[in-house]
């Protein structure tokens, strides 16, 4: 090695340092040994977090990214290491999360020859990444890493894969290697079209029953203050999407919570009655639309999105503006005044009173009760990370989110197993904030090995297992639409989760009676010797309402359990 050269592994570590990376989440393996070696030889300050499964590494990076806004970085080996990371890439892709995934690869002469632990991850990952690289020359490392971080974190963020053959990371990189980006086809952001903004202002001025639908894009753009000023100036009601929770305070009097399949009744009713809907950084997800062709039938539709491919994908807007949510809203706010919405706002306030989210504290222990009490005792300030299923919907309903980046949940992908590792990643990113993880017993067991990481690093996360001994959401569908024929949902044989926590070296608490909720929660929240776990033995067969059966228009929302038999849903899951 001449003085003017460093190893490929070292070039990778230096590239990560220059991007300001704090943590690498991953697992070593044969084809990444040169990179893991460089972590030692460079004496870098980047901390390597050794997970117990590559999928766990990707969700950790995801949780870190959503909690901080910075790209999460994953480092795993080739073959099964890389394929295990696919689910995490897909999860990040669906929810526009910045992530850089570095995978090892067989040496170049062996590519395509079924070498040991060879997988064409570049090919496999194509539909679930924003972009991907197979690094063919060691001297390309500095440029490719710079491009990857840029692509991952600008415009509509997403995961970027960098697949690195072992002989490339073990090769030599010139210190003069180019770092200039070469991305002639990448157009992450365009300035908002003034004409469209003026047309939107005009449409808003005519509206008497407007609603703003504020999505994850507004959070990514850091537009929550601008959205609030915009809504307050117009006196327009706001609903945040499930992933947009925190973009507008849910305790604000203009807030309608979140709409859609298990959203609030008043948000869905507002969608049925509005004369104008303006989406700011939402993609009109199918969970929100109900029946696509019936959605907001009589309303003028405005769409603001940074991604031109979202315009007209689900809903054809009357007026649209491609651009950054913060820039568009800031500009638009200058051109609007207070709208004539007194009647509409008071009408919706009546709906909020008549159709509140509710549950009974009597009878068996309810997940809603645990979440509701957690919300009160943490004063709504916790970073809440969820898994996927019934508990996720109730967490979304009863843990109201007032602050940006405090709600972390797998929305688009609905990846069970997300909660535990994502909470670990979030706590790494936000060491001074309270992080709680709400999982069901199903999803918890898909990634519980990552508790080890929380224990080793003494992360004070509160893990809640909402244990109903069922895959509850599917059981709910079977009860409502399939004459209660339970199939593949009974989680008999669950381990004792408190003993399991203890086996990992954590504190565990059992919670069984509604009367104990406050006491146990206080114990968990006061516990500061690292992570702890609360096993909440909840009612086994409770159902989430409101519910819009998949494929039905929002008008057909069920506020509570119907007495009549329901048809099998026609819409997607």
Is residue 308 within the footprint of another protein (CB under 8 A)? yes
Residue 311 or 345: the one with the smaller Cβ distance to another protein is 311
Given 40, 126, 175, 559, the residue binding another protein (CB under 8 A): 126
Classify the phi-psi angles of 290: left when phi > 0, otherwise alpha if psi is within -120 to 50, otherwise beta. Answer: left
Given 20, 109, 123, 191, the residue binding another protein (CB under 8 A): 123
Beta-carbon contacts of 83 under 8 Å, excluding residues fewer than 6 positions away, are 119, 121, 124
Q: Of the listed pieces 130-138, 286-294, 367-375, 429-437, which binds another protein according to CB under 8 A?
A: 130-138
Given 225, 309, 503, 559, the residue binding another protein (CB under 8 A): 309
How far is Cα of residue 314 from the mean position of the Cα atoms in its chain? Answer: 21
Is residue 191 within the footprint of another protein (CB under 8 A)? no
Q: Which of 17, 116, 253, 358 is labelled catalytic?
A: 116
Among residues 113, 124, 189, the alpha carbon closest in space to that of 161 is found at 124
Given 28, 31, 42, 132, the residue binding another protein (CB under 8 A): 132
CB of 413 to another protein, least distance (A): 16
Element (DSSP H or E) covering residue 342: helix 342-354
CB of 568 to another protein, least distance (A): 25
CB of 404 to another protein, least distance (A): 26
Is residue 122 within the footprint of another protein (CB under 8 A)? yes
Is residue 186 within the footprint of another protein (CB under 8 A)? yes
Q: Which of 278, 473, 500, 557 is labelled catalytic?
A: 473
Residue 126 or 456: the one with the smaller Cβ distance to another protein is 126
Quote the Cα angle for 418-422-427, to 5°: 160
Q: For the chain, percent helix, then strand, then coil, each to nearest 5?
A: 40, 15, 45
Residue 165 or 404: the one with the smaller Cβ distance to another protein is 165
Is residue 464 within the footprint of another protein (CB under 8 A)? no
Is residue 108 within the footprint of another protein (CB under 8 A)? no
Tell me, yes or no, if 116 is annotated catalytic. Answer: yes
152 touches 130 (CB < 8 A): yes
CB of 316 to another protein, least distance (A): 9
- Interface pattern 150-169 for another protein (x via CB under 8 A): -x------------------
**Can you list the positions of beta strands (E) in 3-65?**
5-7, 23-26, 47-50
Phi, psi of 140 (to 5 degrees): -80, -10
99 touches 73 (CB < 8 A): yes
Q: Which of 22, 48, 110, 117 is labelled catalytic?
A: 117
7 touches 36 (CB < 8 A): no
Instruction: For residues 533 and 524, give the distance between their C-alpha atoms in angstroms, rounded to a whole number.
Output: 8
Q: Of the listed pieces 177-185, 325-333, 384-392, 493-501, which binds another protein according to CB under 8 A?
A: 177-185
Q: Of the listed pieces 305-313, 413-421, 428-436, 524-532, which binds another protein according to CB under 8 A?
A: 305-313
193 touches 32 (CB < 8 A): no
For another protein (CB under 8 A), the number of binding residues is: 19
Tell me, yes or no, if 166 is annotated catalytic. Answer: yes
CB of 98 to another protein, least distance (A): 14
Torsion of CA 534, 539, 544, 545, to 10 degrees: -120
Q: Of the listed pieces 93-101, 182-190, 417-425, 500-508, which binds another protein according to CB under 8 A?
A: 182-190
Q: Of the listed pieces 11-19, 308-316, 465-473, 507-515, which binds another protein according to CB under 8 A?
A: 308-316
And the tokens for 261?
Answer: 């399949």
Is residue 283 within the footprint of another protein (CB under 8 A)? no
Residue 107 or 229: the one with the smaller Cβ distance to another protein is 107
The string of DSSP codes covering 350-415 is HHHHHS-----SSSS--HHHHHHHHHHHTTT-SEEEE-SSHHHHHHHHHS---STT-EE---SS--
Instruction: For residues 30 and 117, give the distance between their C-alpha atoms in angstroms, rounded to a whole number.
Output: 9
Instruction: For residues 267 and 355, give the distance between their C-alpha atoms in angstroms, rounded to a whole number.
Output: 10
Instruction: For residues 173 and 176, give the distance between their C-alpha atoms in angstroms, rounded to a whole number.
Output: 8
Tell me, yes or no, if 117 is annotated catalytic. Answer: yes
Tell me, yes or no, if 189 is annotated catalytic. Answer: no
Is residue 130 within the footprint of another protein (CB under 8 A)? yes
How far is Cα of residue 323 from the mean position of the Cα atoms in its chain? Answer: 22
Contact residues toward another protein (CB under 8 A) are 122-123, 126-127, 130-132, 134, 151, 183-186, 307-309, 311-313
List active site positions: 54, 116-117, 166, 473
């Amino acid at each position: 090695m001449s003085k003017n050269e460093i190893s490929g592994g070292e070039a990778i570590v230096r590239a990560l340092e220059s991007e300001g990376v704090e943590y690498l989440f991953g697992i070593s393996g044969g084809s990444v040994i040169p990179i893991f070696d460089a972590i030692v030889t460079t004496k870098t300050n980047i901390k390597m977090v050794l997970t117990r499964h590559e999928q766990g590494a990707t969700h950790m990076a995801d949780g870190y990214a959503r909690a901080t806004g910075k790209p999460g970085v994953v480092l795993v080996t080739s073959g099964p290491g890389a394929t295990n990371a696919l689910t995490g890439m897909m999860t990040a892709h669906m929810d526009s999360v910045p992530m850089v995934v570095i995978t090892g690869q067989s040496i170049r002469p062996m590519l395509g020859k079924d070498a040991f632990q060879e997988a064409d991850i570049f090919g496999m990952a194509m539909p679930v990444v924003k972009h991907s690289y197979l690094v063919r020359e060691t001297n390309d490392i500095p440029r490719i890493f710079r491009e990857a971080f840029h692509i991952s974190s600008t415009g509509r963020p997403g995961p970027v894969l960098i697949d690195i053959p072992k002989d490339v990371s073990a090769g030599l990189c010139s210190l003069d290697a180019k770092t200039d980006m070469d991305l002639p086809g990448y157009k992450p952001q365009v300035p908002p079209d003034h004409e469209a903004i003026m047309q939107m202002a005009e449409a808003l001025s005519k509206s008497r029953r407007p609603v703003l639908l504020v999505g994850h894009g507004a959070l990514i753009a850091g537009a929550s203050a601008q959205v609030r000023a915009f809504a307050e100036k117009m006196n327009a009601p706001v609903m945040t999407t499930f992933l947009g929770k925190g973009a507008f305070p849910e305790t604000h009097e203009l807030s309608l919570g979140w709409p859609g399949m298990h959203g609030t009744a008043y948000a869905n009713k507002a969608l049925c009655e509005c004369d104008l809907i303006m989406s700011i950084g939402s993609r009109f997800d199918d969970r929100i639309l109900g029946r696509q062709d019936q959605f907001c039938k009589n309303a003028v539709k405005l769409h603001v999105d940074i991604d031109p491919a979202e315009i007209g994908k689900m809903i054809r807007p009357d007026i649209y503006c491609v651009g950054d949510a913060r820039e568009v809203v800031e500009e638009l706010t200058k051109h609007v005044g207070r709208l004539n919405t007194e009647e509409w706002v008071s009408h919706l306030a009546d709906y909020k009173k008549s159709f509140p989210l509710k549950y009974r504290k009597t009878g068996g222990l309810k997940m809603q009760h645990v979440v509701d009490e957690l919300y009160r005792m943490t004063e709504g300030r916790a970073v809440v990370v969820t898994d996927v299923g019934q508990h996720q919907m109730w967490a979304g309903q009863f843990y109201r989110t007032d602050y940006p980046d405090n709600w972390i949940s797998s929305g688009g992908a609905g990846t069970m197993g997300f909660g535990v590792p994502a909470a670990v990643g979030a706590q790494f990113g936000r060491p001074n904030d309270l992080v709680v993880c709400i999982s069901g017993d199903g999803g918890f067991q898909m990634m519980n090995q990552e508790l080890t990481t929380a224990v080793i690093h003494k992360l004070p996360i509160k893990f809640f297992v909402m244990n109903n001994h069922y895959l509850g959401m599917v059981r709910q569908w079977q009860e409502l639409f399939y004459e209660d024929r339970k199939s593949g949902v009974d989680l008999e044989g669950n381990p004792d989760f408190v003993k399991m926590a203890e086996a990992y070296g954590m504190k565990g608490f059992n919670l069984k009676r509604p009367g104990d909720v406050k006491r146990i929660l206080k114990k968990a929240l006061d516990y500061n010797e690292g992570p702890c776990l609360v096993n909440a033995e909840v009612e086994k067969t409770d159902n989430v309402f409101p519910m819009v059966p998949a494929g039905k228009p929002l008008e057909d929302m069920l506020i509570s359990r119907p007495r009549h038999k329901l048809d099998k849903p026609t819409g997607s899951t």
